[in-house]
Amino acid sequence: MLDVPMIQTRGFRNSDGGFQVRLRLPYYRGVWTNLLEGVSLTVDGEEYAADTIGWTLAGTDYTLAELVGSDTARWPVDVPATLTVPRGEPLSIGFHTVAAELRLHMSYIPEELQPTIWSEERRLVITR
Amino acid sequence: MLDVPMIQTRGFRNSDGGFQVRLRLPYYRGVWTNLLEGVSLTVDGEEYAADTIGWTLAGTDYTLAELVGSDTARWPVDVPATLTVPRGEPLSIGFHTVAAELRLHMSYIPEELQPTIWSEERRLVITR
Amino acid sequence: MKLGVSLYSYTSEFGTTLTLDDCIEDVADLGASGLEILGEAHVENYPSPSTAWIDAWFARLSRWELTPTCYGSWVDTRRGRRPITVDEAVAQLETDIRLASTLGFAYVRPKLGVVTDDLEPDPVWEPATERVLDLAAEKNVIICPEIHWPSVIKSKVVDDYLAFIQRTGTSHFALLMDTGVFQTSMHRRTGGVASRMGDKGGRPPEVPVVPVSDLEDVLDHVCHVQAKFYEIDDDLQDHYIPWKEFLDLLTRRGWDGWLSSEYEGDYGVGRASDQLRRQHALIRTLSDVR
Amino acid sequence: MKLGVSLYSYTSEFGTTLTLDDCIEDVADLGASGLEILGEAHVENYPSPSTAWIDAWFARLSRWELTPTCYGSWVDTRRGRRPITVDEAVAQLETDIRLASTLGFAYVRPKLGVVTDDLEPDPVWEPATERVLDLAAEKNVIICPEIHWPSVIKSKVVDDYLAFIQRTGTSHFALLMDTGVFQTSMHRRTGGVASRMGDKGGRPPEVPVVPVSDLEDVLDHVCHVQAKFYEIDDDLQDHYIPWKEFLDLLTRRGWDGWLSSEYEGDYGVGRASDQLRRQHALIRTLSDVR
Ligand SMILES: [Mn+2]
Ligand SMILES: [Mn+2]
């Protein structure tokens, strides 16, 4: 089962050359990934732009451009996305404030109300 | 998945000759049922004694005496018990206040602190 | 009338506190006999579920004695930020009609992209729908766009749909009525992940209250009702949707389709299950449903 | 020292918001390498799991690179409201030793029933344990009763256990140290289903603070540590368990077993996962663990 928040407790960790954070899709259905506009992150006040963040969906790695360019890739509502963020130094052991903004285009909502933006901030722990 | 409360939302309903309510075991492990002292219920102020209530565990029906007399029956922590309560009239459509007290004997706690008693009250709906 | 539940009701609990099995068990447990799903949410590996998943689907229907009612689909008209073509819309509709039919559904609700601020559907809807009518007939499903707030009944959109039925003579296209259209006041959903619609300062439209009587003229073309609701209070009252008036009209007219509950109230663990039971208790005290 | 987690930590979330898979994934995700379970809680169809379940167990260990550490068992000495016999205690111990060994565990912690207000274990413990020592040797597990609050280290119970080791010369019996013994103040757990211990007005004992230094004399016989904790605050401080003193002692003595986290703080969805991460971050900043 996933966490109720968009930003998942599981998956926040240092990785080779950066860190990772996992999101669930807070929408009511899965989506074709060419409806995505991306996710931007802020960790401890440091911003990471949407187009610098790598995606992993169900074991497959993508860039944001690849997801937006694909006619077949999907982000299911019950499958979390792992975001991989390049960073010079690993995050320190202890608390970090993690904020995420997810932007998704909704065809059935008029253009002037685009995109739908979900935003959330959590305080998560790096253990090592 | 089960509800977090002991008294489950699913399973509260009228049945032949009475009604049913479902409980999860709020303990940290499953138990041999001969550690049970029983469950008493109060619905809208009307009390139902532990020895009048039928049990169903994983599809098998028991009386409380059968559960206490068994050397092999178990109540797993992730399997809810369905309690069947005889009642002359079906419960009316709408809200009902359901209270349960579960009593369980703990061998590793001194006799004078027996049994451990979990108690909970919820307001649940009968739909038909 | 028959009572069902749409799994849309469990949004934010599906996958977090409830599995698909749990949701379906909950629908049966609360006494409903009809089951509605969203293809893109609830079908594992959409649009290509495994045969094992399909077998499990039918095993659940049989175990819980549930009838598949409506399958919600989408025609996303601005994928990749460009307008959809008729061929692409046809392909999406065909995918969902085939999948819905495989899973035993009688109704397919395509949610169409819009092209104007007042929610006019993308004009591809008409040629694309016309091209899949034969498939709908072959698969024995009815395609039913949804009349959903902030759309209203007396509108060009609905007139166009009725003209389409008239012109084609089809019996495989009808209307889905979402009871949110009749809301007498606006509910502001709380809980869940905070969201907003754009950063351009746009606001959802102001919509007049739609009288239930507006339903009279179109009811013969309504094949399915999504019984949208927001909150039933602790006295079993709904202050948003006029259920008595609505149910009395359906009863008087002898309408005999499914009322499929769509809970869209505040988020919170366990809220959907509780609110759905409240709504079904309320509906059963107000009308004679099966 | 190596860091692990006991699935006890997820009590009230296991089966409600987390599956067994989720709990085990969480343990790996937070960076632990050891996995402790409670046989009667986490083994499906205990005491007779299917071979499919056992296969899935080893698949999880392999996928998440986790080592099974300790298997918690119980010898319920007043089942059916009568005292247990030695034969019955032996049968229960054998059941759990065999199952623990099948699942790859190195340690079996039997929780024994008590016969006095000051928690003296039922005297069956000694003859029953003696009778299963050969099985423990054959199955390569160490039986380790738990020193758990309100028991203390300098006590007849611990003296009796050490005398047993001395007398039998066994290498398959040792002590499990629960760090709750060293609590410097009492935590009152909140949330969850309300419970009370009996209606006879009995109260749990008042227990003096146990200095960490009491561990010195028995540490050579401690095979496993349950790193019990109640709350790590928003500054990553624990106001209940003196971790620095405890970890410094283990480090100085070169103790090289598992610290297996047992979260026993307030109930609440998501609390265990968060608190376990806080504790592991704290322990890793205070000591050199693998
Ligand atoms: Mn609807
Ligand atoms: Mn312990």
What are the boundaries of each domain within chain A?
13-126
Which of C44, C81, C193 is closest, CB to CB, to A5?
C193
- Give the chain D residue nearest B70 (alpha carbons): D80
Q: How far apart are CA B27 and CA D41, in angstroms?
A: 9
Q: Residues A1-12, buried b or exposed e (16+ Cβ, 10 A)?
A: bbbbbbbbbbbb
Look at B13 and C269 and tell me if their CB atoms are within 8 Å.
no
> Among residues C222, C216, C213, which one has the least CA distance to residue C259?
C222
Instruction: Output the pLDDT for position A6.
Output: 98
Tokens of D199: 């209606």
pLDDT digits (tens, 9 = 90+) for C49-95: 999 999 999 999 999 999 999 999 999 999 999 999 999 999 999 99
Separation in Å, CA of A83 to nearest CA in chain C: 18
Question: For residues C59 and C94, is the Cβ–Cβ distance under 8 A?
Answer: no
Q: Which chains touch C (3 or more CB pairs under 8 A)?
A: A, B, D
| Assigned token pair, C170 | 């089809």
Q: How far apart are the first and last CA of chain B?
A: 24
User: HEC string of C68-109?
Assistant: EEEEEEEECCCHHHCCCCHHHHHHHHHHHHHHHHHCCCCEEE
What residue in B sits closest to C24 (Cα-Cα)?
B10
Residues of chain D below pLDDT 50: none
- Report the amino acid identity of residue A35: L
Mean pLDDT of B6-18: 97
CB distance A78 to A2 below 8 Å? yes
Q: What percent of chain B has pLDDT over 90?
A: 98
State how far residue C221 is from chain B, nearest Cα, in angstroms: 30
What's the pLDDT at B52?
97
Closest by Cβ to C25, choosing from B3, B10, B125: B10
* CB of C225 closer than 8 Å to CB of C177: yes
Q: Angle C199-A86-A44 (CA atoms, 0-180°, nearest 5)?
A: 60
CB contact under 8 Å between C19 and B1, yes or no, is yes
Q: Of the candidates A4, A9, A94, which has its C-beta nearest D236's C-beta?
A: A94
Per-residue pLDDT tens digits for B47-91: 999 999 999 999 999 999 999 999 999 999 999 999 999 999 999
pLDDT at residue D121, as a whole number: 94
> What is residue D204's predicted lDDT score, i.e. its pLDDT?
74
pLDDT score of C256 more than 80 = yes
Instruction: Report the pLDDT value the prediction gives residue C10, as an integer from 0 to 100.
Output: 98
Q: Which ligand is nearest to the CA of D261?
A: 2
At the topology level, CATH places domain A13-126 in: Immunoglobulin-like (2.60.40)
Contact D121, D75 (CB under 8 A): no
Which of C15, C78, C79 comes nearest A1 by C-beta?
C15
Which chains have 3+ CB pairs within 8 A of D? Answer: A, B, C
Interface of B with D in 51-70 (CB under 8 A): 68-69
pLDDT reported for residue D268: 95
Span from the CA of C290 to the centroid of ligand 1 (angstroms): 21
- A10, D32 Cβ separation under 8 angstroms: no
Please answer yes or no on whether C285 and B124 come within 8 Å at the CB atom. no
Instruction: Tell me the C-alpha distance between D93 and D39, whole Å.
Output: 12
Under 8 Å between Cβ of B32 and D46: no
Ligand with an atom nearest the CA of residue D145: 2
Over residues C230-248, the pLDDT tens digits come to 999 999 999 999 999 999 9
pLDDT tens per residue, range C208-226: 899 999 999 999 999 999 9
Where are chain C's structural domains?
A: 2-286
Q: What distances in angstroms separate CA B58 from CA B77, D214, D277, one per listed residue?
A: 12, 47, 35
Instruction: Name subunits touching B (3+ CB pairs < 8 A).
Output: C, D
d(Cα B59, Cα D55) in Å, to the nearest integer?
26
Kindly list the distances between the CA atom of residue D36 and the CA atoms of C133, D11, D67, D72, D268, in Å, as whole numbers in the listed order.
59, 13, 9, 8, 21
Q: Does the annotation mark C148 as catalytic?
A: yes
Cα–Cα distance, D200 to B112 (Å, whole number): 7
CA distance D27 to D36: 10
10-residue mean pLDDT profile of chain A (128 residues): values are 97 97 98 98 98 97 98 98 97 98 96 95 98
What is the rounded distance in angstroms from the CA atom of residue D136 to the CA atom of residue D124?
A: 17
Q: How far is A116 from chain D (nearest CA, A)?
A: 27
The distance of A106 to chain C (nearest Cα, Å) reads 8
Q: Does B79 touch chain C (CB under 8 A)?
A: no
Q: Which among C45, C200, C135 is positioned nearest to A73, based on CA atoms? A: C45
Tell me the whole-structure pTM to 2 decimals.
0.97
* Ligand 1 centroid, distance to C226 Cα (angstroms): 5
At residue B118, the pLDDT reads 98
User: Which residues from A are below 8 Å from C122, CB to CB?
Assistant: 107
One of D42, D148, D172, D224 is an active-site residue; which one?
D148
Q: From the CA of D226, how far away is ligand 2's center (Å)? A: 5
Q: Among B7, B11, B3, B1, which Cα is nearest to B127's?
A: B11
Q: Is the pLDDT confidence value at C205 over 90?
A: no
CA of C194 to nearest chain A CA: how many angstroms apart?
6
Which of C81, C112, C116 shows the shortest C-beta gap to A108? C112
Indicate the average pLDDT of chain C: 96
Given this model, what pLDDT does residue D171 score?
98
Write out the two tokens for C10: 């469990």
- Among C23, C30, C63, C269, most B C-beta atoms within 10 A, so best to mutate, is C30
Cβ–Cβ gap C198/A113 under 8 Å:
yes
Ligand nearest to the CA of C226: 1
The angle formed by the CA atoms of residues D24, D30 and D35, to the nearest 5 degrees, is 40
Q: Distance from CA of residue C247 to its chain's centroid? A: 18
In chain D, what residues touch A124 (CB-CB under 8 Å)? 277
- Number of neighbours of residue D147 by Cβ within 10 angstroms: 24
Q: Is residue C252 scored above 90 in pLDDT?
A: yes
| Lateral strand order in the sheet of C142-143 | C142-143, C107-112, C67-75, C34-38, C2-6, C258-263, C222-229, C175-178, C146-147
Distance D148 CA to ligand 2 centre (A): 6
What pLDDT sits at residue D205?
77
* Residue in chain B nearest D146 by alpha carbon: B108
CA gap C177, C163 in Å, rounded: 17
Residue of D nearest to C22 (CA): D16
Q: Are B9 and C234 in contact (CB < 8 Å)? A: no
The residue among B21, B81, B31 whose CA lies nearest residue B56 is B81
CA of C111, nearest ligand number: 1
For C112, residues 6+ apart whose C-beta sits below 8 A from its C-beta are A107, A108, C75, C77, C121, C122, C125, C145
Neighbouring subunits of A (3+ Cβ pairs under 8 A): C, D
- pLDDT for C118 equals 82
Q: Does B107 touch chain D (CB under 8 A)?
A: yes
Residue B74's Cα: distance from chain center in Å?
A: 14
Residue D146's closest CA among D172, D174, D166? D174
In angstroms, what is the span from residue D10 Cα to ligand 2's centroid? 13
ipTM here: 0.96
User: Does the pLDDT value for residue C175 go beyond 90?
Assistant: yes
Q: How far is CA C213 from the centre of its chain?
A: 21
Neighbours of ion ligand 2 (CB under 5 A): D 178, 226, 262
Query: Which chain A residues contact residue D17 at CB under 8 A?
Result: 1
Please state the CATH superfamily assignment of the domain spanning residues C2-286 in this structure: Divalent-metal-dependent TIM barrel enzymes (3.20.20.150)
- Least Cα distance to C113 among C71, C143, C142, C85 occurs for C85
Helices D125-139 and D86-102: angle between axes, nearest 10 degrees: 30
CA distances for B65 relative to B15, B34, B73, C131, C206, angstroms: 22, 9, 12, 67, 64
Chain D contact for C191 (CB, 8 A cutoff): no
Q: Do residues D71 and D40 touch, judged by C-beta distance below 8 A?
A: no
Q: Which DSSP letter does residue D217 get?
A: T
- Percent of residues in chain B assigned helix, strand, coil, to nearest 5: 10, 45, 40
Residue C206 confidence (pLDDT): 81
Percent share of chain C, pLDDT over 90: 93
